[in-house]
Amino acid sequence: MRALVLSDIHGNLEALNAALAAAGEVDAVWNLGDVVGYGASPNEVIEIVRAKAQYNVRGNHDRVCCGLASAAGFNPVARAAAEWTRKELTEANREWLAAVPKGPLMPEGLPQVALAHGSPLNEDQYIITMRDAWAPLQQSGIVVTFIGHTHLQGGFMQKNEEWRELKPQYSKKNEAESWTLEAQDGMRFLINPGSIGQPRDNDWRAGFAVYDTDAKTIVFHRVPYDLTAAQGRILMAGLPEKLAARLFEGR
């Protein structure tokens, strides 16, 4: 089975469409959360995800934008975007977002796979360093746990006494590229597919992953998208200009 793993779309319709086109035929779509917030196409993005994703995990921006949590902990720019998004959401999309479950979830028939937004131990915890990854990998018997939240594509691997940080290697800046990781027996992984709508690893291209359960591979992807259109939507919506600028910067 080939599963397309998406995370942190953040209302970026152009990036989502580019990722879906680049992924091609897949058997399943897994969404790791933060469908909305920051970007200016929350309803359009939710409607695509609702139609395509078999599994959805809620993110912190999803909780705030649908009214389940306060924006008090957000910085001013994130708070402004969340408040705008909450007003823009249709009632049907707000209700759907409020019903998205907390992770981790385990896809049916795949007992060695889990889906989470932040850490599988705490949905709001960022896993950025090996120190962050240590407890989740030690305490979980799951082989592959997909996570989002940091907007940093890559992850962590553990096998016996070996620990390794995983960072896809790319050479281009404006073209589609991929990087393949082989999931060998005995390894356990925390895998971040990257952010579709707002990467923070200094690469503006949309990031996602495709997990092939038969080939035991995880293929990371970066694809360009219509950046100008996404930025224009943000500016036309009256959202903070910083949200448009950071798309180009990839941070």
Give tens-digit pLDDT for 26-61: 999 999 999 999 999 999 999 999 999 999 999 999
Establish if 173 belongs to a structural domain: yes
CB 170 within 8 A of CB 139: no
Establish if 201 belongs to a structural domain: yes
Model pLDDT for residues 97-129, shown as the tens digit of each residue: 999 999 999 999 999 999 999 999 999 999 999
- Say what the pLDDT of residue 89 is: 98
Establish if 130 belongs to a structural domain: no
Other residues' Cβ atoms within 10 Å of the Cβ of residue 21: 11
Model pLDDT for residues 8-18, shown as the tens digit of each residue: 999 999 999 99
Mean pLDDT of the chain: 95
- List helix spans (H) across 207-249: 227-236, 241-249
Establish if 109 belongs to a structural domain: no
Query: Domain tally for the chain?
Result: 1
CA distance 103 to 119: 9
Maximum Cα–Cα distance for the chain, whole Å? 52
Q: Is the dihedral of CA 115, 121, 127, 129 positive or negative?
A: negative
Residue 219's closest CA among 229, 209, 227, 228? 209
Residues whose CB falls within 8 Å of the CB of residue 190, separated by 6 or more in sequence, listed in order: 127, 133, 136, 137, 145, 147, 155, 156
Establish if 115 belongs to a structural domain: no
**Would you give the DSSP letter of residue 228?**
H
Residue 144's closest CA among 186, 105, 102, 113? 113
What CATH code is carried by the domain that includes residue 45?
3.60.21.10
Establish if 72 belongs to a structural domain: yes
Establish if 131 belongs to a structural domain: no
The domain of 245 spans: 2-104+167-186+194-249
pLDDT, mean of residues 153-177 = 92
Establish if 52 belongs to a structural domain: yes
CB 143 within 8 A of CB 113: yes
CB 105 within 8 A of CB 55: yes
Helix (H) or strand (E) holding 166: strand 162-166
Judge if the upstream peptide bond of residue 199 is cis by omega within 30 degrees of 0: no
